[in-house]
Structure 1
Amino acid sequence: MSGMIGEGQRSRSASSASTFSSSLPPDENLNGRLSDFTSRHCSVLQTPPARKAKRIRFYRNGDRFYKGVMMAVTPERYRSFDSLVADLTRALVENVNIPSGVRTLFTMDGQKVGGLDELEDGKCYVCSGLGETFKRVDYSANRVQSGKLKHRKSLPSMHQPSETTRSPTSRTSISDVIRPRLITLIRNGTRPRRVVRLLLNKRNAPSLDHAFSSITEAVKLDSGAVRKVFTLSGAQVTQLEDFFGSTDVFFAYGNERYSREDFDLDVEEYKAMQSYRKGFRNIPWMPNTSSKPGQRSMGSQERVDMRIPANMPKMPVKTKTTQYSGSQDSHENTSAIPPAIRLKYQVGKVIGDGNFAVVRQCIDRSTGTEYALKVIDKSKCHGKEHMIESEVSILRRVHHPNIIQLVAEYDTHSELYLVMELIKGGDLFDAIASATKFSEKEASMMTRNLASALFYLHSLNVVHRDIKPENLLVQIDRHGTKLLKLGDFGLAQVVTEPLYTVCGTPTYVAPEILAETGYGLKIDVWAAGVILYILLCGFPPFVSTNSDQEELFDHILTGHYEFSSPYWDKVSLSAKDLIAHMLQVQPELRFSAEDVLDHLWLAAGGVEQLKVYRTTNLHISPQDTFAHSSDFAINMDVRRSGTKPKSWNI
């Protein structure tokens, strides 16, 4: 009975609803049907939602102290694996040491990642540099949980203060303390104990934990990780600032016991320590530098004596000439230039010539801006077409205020036309010949320009390989200050592995090129160090009295040079210190371009540039390489022969 009643009620309700619906006005009834249709079919009409971003944490291979960086990976943001790798390099470079940039990604169990589609949301991966094998460490030990770091029992108590728990004020003061510095480490063990050198900077020592980790890798204690470090006087290092204070000699220990006698050096250890310091042998004992280091500042207004002593060493002969010395009419042969170029630019006189090309002055008709028009004759480039294309390829990619800019290019069957930035101040070689030497203020400005350009190139893993005054063009700003722009990328190459080709210019060539042991980015820093030396005294650090190339190369290989009197008597200790770090024979102890910018002699004006150039979004694929000869210089490119090149002219 109750079931029948229920059915009757439902029947009446349905009937009432039908009657109510039919009694509605026609428009309201239609709107109801459209609303019902829309609700049933809206899923078909809607645009498919964008794919969800994969939130992934990336660690640095072998660095158990770095907490990693979290990144959102989407197909829209990263269209290729190379673009992700480039972005990771930029994200990691401020916190960890990865000289060659990120090259490989590993899963947490050591499997190599081959593409973007293999990355999984919420997972962690390890970033590796060139040629590195996967290192199994506890990467998650330093992850932040509930605003605090996990307690690491394996580390001594003096390590416990972490930068993540410090106040912003404290963190800033620590950053100000860290300057690139070479320290001497004496490894605990049987006497004579091993003495090693280590370059500390903000990449491998941003915290005390990182510094201890870097020392562990350098000294390789039999007992494992370094747990305690002492100064030469026996004081224990308890804070990061201790590594950047007055002492630069330290003893490295694990958990083993120590005694006061351990801090006394025997004869062999002392000799080893002195041999490591010979590159700095002249700095503390220069005749006229008995005053305090800060007494004469870089920007001192003291007048610099520009007189040339009779017995002063000479500069090497200029290796190339960019000024045109012909007598032809300034507008001769401009009719051969394609109409598209003549329509946009007013082409003027020849201002330079070389092996494959001539350079003309031109003016943009719409803006009045002057440019240099480089005309490359393809008929003179048979067999070298790929070299020209490589130079153009790298110029297309680089954009930096201290690098000559490519503005436009026009390709025809017989010529290649490049519209480039015009610099009217000549090159640095001519400026040196005219001024002999420069004040520290001028030299620091030009060195900062060059180091900024090199830091930018090296962040892209591009090595220039022919840094010399002839390839640095001088621009005079409205205040009369000399600014440098780097040109001639004829020998530039992307570094993906050690290089062995012997090339460059003898006076500026780095020792590892001559030794043929393999070289990388830091050969450019060596050449920049040679140039800085020249700027401050007027002649190069490595010379041969009899123009003997073998003697010159021997001096370079041993790093033998002097801050000789009277030429260096009035140069500050800080400037000499920077040169000594740039002219370190061992590449691993030599400053990087970023270290040069961080040095106290330059840092005052280089900080903002460093911030700007770190944020570059340009990327050169590791597959692209650039190795070719210049249009305006004959650069020797001698393949490995097992002997030093004989054909260089000094």
Structure 2
Amino acid sequence: MVEEECLKSKKSIKMQAVALRTSRSISNEECTPRQKSDVGRAARKAKRIRFLVNGDRFCKGVVVAVTHERYRSFDSLLAELSNMLSENKHLPSGVRALFSTDGHKISQLDDLEDGKFYICSGGNNAIKKIDYAALNNVKPSRSLTKLQSTHTVLSSPSKQPYLNIRPKIIFVVRSGTRPRKIIRMLLNKRNSPSFEHILTLITESIKLDTGAVRKVYISSGCQITQLEQFFESDDLFFVYGSERISQDDLKLDFEEMKTVQSHKRGLRRPANELKNGTHCMDESGKRVPQLPKTTKANRSITSSIPSKVLSRYTIGDRLGDGNFAVVYRCFDKRNNAEYALKVIKILDVPQMSQMIENELSILKSISHPNIINLISDLVTTTDVYLITELVSGGDLFEAIARCTDFSERDIRLMTRNLASALAYLHGLDIVHRDVKPENLLVEYDINGHVLHLKLADFGLSQKVKEPLYMVCGTPTYVSPEILTQDGYGVKIDIWAAGVILYILLCGFPPFVSENNIQEDLFNDILSGTYGFPEPYWDNVSEEAKDLVCSMLQSNPSLRFSAEDVLDHPWCDEFEL
């Protein structure tokens, strides 16, 4: 069964895990170099675009300089447009979709063209037929500064704190008889562009008997009236409709307090206890869970490399192997450029051909500085040959296995790089499904500091059009929703990244089986319980621990997105 194979730990290429790609088979064709996009140039060149409002014949819209550097994903652009146009009555729920003037829905940043104008919509409905061209009456020669200054009413100074919003989990207490209903909610830039948006979000979640949420208080009695107040130190909020309140309503009874405290602890174990009852240190000081060993293939792939590959590349030493692949160093005979050659054996098992097609198709459609770059590929009846960029530092698993002691600065950089890659993929509705140290390639400088990290091995990646149910991944990094088979999406990658961050900070995983029994491991993951045991976490910052907790939320709706990870203060404090 493919599901069972997917769940086996596999040593994913020692130095070059790159994934399979293409939606077509290329039999006996010469490897053709892939046309690389100049990411740096694209990021520097801003597209100046006017955004109008669907059905609003009076709003002149806003002009935005769109670059990949400014907007890490399409959702980031929608969030900023929601903030800029938050007072427009035609967009009560913010900007949810963009359309061209001919009604074509825009789904990614690359679809936007410089100098054109687009229609902002609050849903997926077709655009209303009005003369948008008449609204777009600003000459192209006018500067962006002038354009923006003519529409300051749309982006008032009161909205500026939006730029400093950090992702935050809050507790909302519903008015009513005690014990009152208390829910947790994740607020971030994307779902909280304005104060009114948060009230709508709470209304939909809390469902007051009196209708919409109109008043929000904190325990001190202070009423919340501004967006930025939700992101200050308080995290407990009492919400009401039109009913009257008393000071006693802003106090929790014993049962309510227990509910909040259990949520705040996040079901974490005491600081001095590890998983399965194993305490931090025994008399020898060595009783600590270890990072699980990967499973290496017992066989070697000996298929001959086609002459059309050998005529172009000189094959060097073997870099690593996995369950289905071998990786070699290779050199381009034209310019002696160094690459990696990954040879994947096509096995006669159900769904493998489809997985190869999915992977190749995805790899050929993406380009990001923190994702391994495919140079060329060749598919035969028995093997897939991938020429990829070479990352000489090896994979992250090897570094951890060597007991490499990464500084918090290096861990922060790697986390940012991984989150950036995932934000890009998730913005395209692509889930990786096998994020783990073996699939993360690291480059170092001459002093041993991390320069950058790249995500590789897209063998399990897939476009997410609806909830997925196939059980796959690597056991240590698999998320609760995969195990419960209730349907999952892109946030399973964030869970896996949270497990990796935990390992990097302390040296062992948050979820383990003492006897290496897979069922015990899965039960541990489903429990959602973990801790920060002494002395291994003593020197780790509180902000780093907070990010771990936000990424290892068992409830996917409360779990950070990749964008939230990048917005977190710990990631944002990157030191050059």
TM range (shorter): 0.7 to 0.9
What residue in structure 2 maps to residue 389 of structure 1?
A: 357
CA offsets per residue over residues 287-335 of structure 1, 9 Å max, x none?
A: 9xxxxxxxxxxxxxxxxxxxx94112211121347xx998x9xxx987x
- Higher mean Cα deviation, 249-258 or 413-422? 413-422
Counterparts in 2 of 1:401 and 1:309: CA distance versus 1, 3 Å: farther
Matched, 1:582 2:551: yes
2:463 aligned partner, one-letter code: V
Alignment of 1:186-201 (within 5 A): 186-201=173-188
Residue 379 of structure 1: how far off its partner (Å): 6.7
Counterparts in 2 of 1:54 and 1:264: CA distance versus 1, 3 Å: closer
2:198 to 201, 204, 211: 211
Residue 494 of structure 2 contacts residue 561 of structure 2 at CA under 8 Å; is this kept in 1?
yes
Counterparts in 2 of 1:468 and 1:601: CA distance versus 1, 3 Å: same
Residue 370 of structure 1: how far off its partner (Å): 0.5
Residue 91 of structure 2 contacts residue 122 of structure 2 at CA under 8 Å; is this kept in 1?
no
Residue 486 of structure 1: how far off its partner (Å): 1.1
Residue 442 of structure 1: how far off its partner (Å): 1.6
What residue in structure 1 maps to residue 313 of structure 2?
A: 345
Q: Secondary structure at the match of 1:503?
A: coil
Residue 400 of structure 1: how far off its partner (Å): 1.1
Matched, 1:573 2:542: yes
CA offsets per residue over residues 502-544 of structure 1, 9 Å max, x none?
A: 1111111111111121111111111111110000110001112
Distance 1:89 1:510 in 2: 33
CA offsets per residue over residues 416-467 of structure 1, 9 Å max, x none?
A: 3221111222211110111254221121111111111111111111111111
Counterparts in 2 of 1:405 and 1:505: CA distance versus 1, 3 Å: same
Distance 2:111 2:227 in 1: 26
Residue 340 of structure 2 contacts residue 388 of structure 2 at CA under 8 Å; is this kept in 1?
yes
Structure 1 unaligned runs (5+)? 1-52, 92-101, 109-118, 125-145, 150-162, 288-307, 609-650
Counterparts in 2 of 1:68 and 1:103: CA distance versus 1, 3 Å: closer
Matched, 1:106 2:112: no
1:222 to 209, 215, 238: 209
Counterparts in 2 of 1:89 and 1:185: CA distance versus 1, 3 Å: farther
1:164 to 131, 155, 165: 155
CA offsets per residue over residues 326-368 of structure 1, 9 Å max, x none?
A: 8x9xxx987x5324x3343223233334444433221122332
2:94 aligned partner, one-letter code: Y
Residue 269 of structure 2 contacts residue 530 of structure 2 at CA under 8 Å; is this kept in 1?
no
1:275 aligned partner, one-letter code: S
Matched, 1:442 2:410: yes
What residue in structure 2 maps to residue 113 of structure 1?
A: none
Distance 2:509 2:428 in 1: 29
1:423 to 391, 408, 414: 391
Residue 56 of structure 1 contacts residue 121 of structure 1 at CA under 8 Å; is this kept in 2?
no
Residue 90 of structure 2 contacts residue 122 of structure 2 at CA under 8 Å; is this kept in 1?
no
Residue 192 of structure 1 contacts residue 268 of structure 1 at CA under 8 Å; is this kept in 2?
yes
Residue 88 of structure 1: how far off its partner (Å): 10
Residue 551 of structure 1: how far off its partner (Å): 2.6
Residue 254 of structure 1: how far off its partner (Å): 1.2
Q: Secondary structure at the match of 2:331?
A: strand
What residue in structure 2 maps to residue 546 of structure 1?
A: 515
Distance 1:381 1:543 in 2: 31
Q: Secondary structure at the match of 1:444?
A: helix
What residue in structure 1 maps to residue 94 of structure 2?
A: 66
2:54 to 47, 57, 62: 57
Residue 71 of structure 1: how far off its partner (Å): 5.6
Counterparts in 2 of 1:270 and 1:394: CA distance versus 1, 3 Å: same
Matched, 1:261 2:280: no
Counterparts in 2 of 1:456 and 1:478: CA distance versus 1, 3 Å: farther
What residue in structure 2 maps to residue 398 of structure 1?
A: 366
Residue 62 of structure 1: how far off its partner (Å): 10
Distance 2:97 2:352 in 1: 44
Residue 499 of structure 2 contacts residue 552 of structure 2 at CA under 8 Å; is this kept in 1?
yes
What residue in structure 2 maps to residue 315 of structure 1?
A: 291
Alignment of 1:487-498 (within 5 A): 487-498=456-467
Counterparts in 2 of 1:196 and 1:425: CA distance versus 1, 3 Å: same
What residue in structure 1 maps to residue 163 of structure 2?
A: 175
What residue in structure 2 maps to residue 304 of structure 1?
A: none
Residue 239 of structure 1: how far off its partner (Å): 1.7
CA offsets per residue over residues 577-628 of structure 1, 9 Å max, x none?
A: 000111111111111111011100001349x9xxxxxxxxxxxxxxxxxxxx
Residue 187 of structure 1: how far off its partner (Å): 0.7
CA offsets per residue over residues 556-577 of structure 1, 9 Å max, x none?
A: 1121111011111111111100
1:589 aligned partner, one-letter code: L
What residue in structure 2 maps to residue 245 of structure 1?
A: 232
Matched, 1:531 2:507: no
Residue 265 of structure 1: how far off its partner (Å): 1.2
- Root-mean-square deviation (CA), in Å? 3.7
CA offsets per residue over residues 144-202 of structure 1, 9 Å max, x none?
A: xx9697xxxxxxxxxxxxx7332xxx6444412x1000000001112211101110101
Residue 396 of structure 2 contacts residue 438 of structure 2 at CA under 8 Å; is this kept in 1?
yes
Counterparts in 2 of 1:529 and 1:55: CA distance versus 1, 3 Å: closer
Q: Secondary structure at the match of 2:417?
A: helix
Q: Percent identity?
A: 49
Residue 545 of structure 1: how far off its partner (Å): 2.1
Counterparts in 2 of 1:449 and 1:90: CA distance versus 1, 3 Å: farther
Residue 231 of structure 1 contacts residue 250 of structure 1 at CA under 8 Å; is this kept in 2?
yes
Distance 2:324 2:183 in 1: 49
Question: Given the two structures, how large is their TM-score scaled by the length of structure 2?
Answer: 0.72
Structure 2 unaligned runs (5+)? 1-49, 56-77, 83-88, 114-120, 134-149, 274-283
Q: Secondary structure at the match of 1:246?
A: coil
**Number of residue pairs matched by the alignment:** 463
Q: Secondary structure at the match of 2:523?
A: helix
What residue in structure 2 maps to residue 372 of structure 1?
A: 340
Counterparts in 2 of 1:491 and 1:525: CA distance versus 1, 3 Å: same
What residue in structure 2 maps to residue 36 of structure 1?
A: none
* Greater Rg by CA: 1
Q: Secondary structure at the match of 1:277?
A: helix
Distance 1:537 1:106 in 2: 49
Distance 2:555 2:346 in 1: 42
Counterparts in 2 of 1:257 and 1:392: CA distance versus 1, 3 Å: same
Residue 92 of structure 2 contacts residue 122 of structure 2 at CA under 8 Å; is this kept in 1?
no
